[in-house]
Structure 1
């Protein structure tokens, strides 16, 4: 499998895992953005697997909110 395809699959798996946990916990992207005092676009990019440093840091915060640390 080409590397880019592997990267796309990893991003999809990440997005699915975060969204499942959001549903379980009853959080919306808007609520996460408000809680973290971030723009909704920043949260959306992080959830959708963007690789820039801001998205990585935002994902770490999202993992903490959703109780995903260590997963």
Structure 2
């Protein structure tokens, strides 16, 4: 599998994992954004697998809040 395809699959896995955790906690992305002090747009970019340092930092916050390891 080419590198780009692996990257896209990894992004999809991150998104699925976060969305499932949100569902289990009965929480929306908007509620998550408010809880961790980030904008809904930034949360969405991080959930979709953004690769900027800010996206990675936000995902770390998301993982902590949602109990994802």
- Bin the TM-score by the shorter chain: over 0.9
1:38, distance to aligned residue in structure 2 (A): 1.2
What residue is the counterpart of 1:18 in the other structure? Answer: 18
Correspondence for 1:61: 61
The aligned residue for residue 47 of structure 2 is 47
After TM superposition, which residue ranges in structure 1, 4 or more long, deviate above 6 angstroms?
none
TM-score by length of 2: 0.95
Pick 1 or 2: higher relative contact order, CA cutoff 8 A, min separation 6. 2
1:33 has 2:59 as partner: no
Count of aligned pairs: 69
Structure 2 unaligned spans of 5+: none
Q: Distance in 1 between the 2:27 and 2:60 partners?
A: 16
Q: 1: CA distance between counterparts of 2:38 and 2:18?
A: 17
RMSD: 0.7
Unpaired segments ≥5 residues, structure 1: none
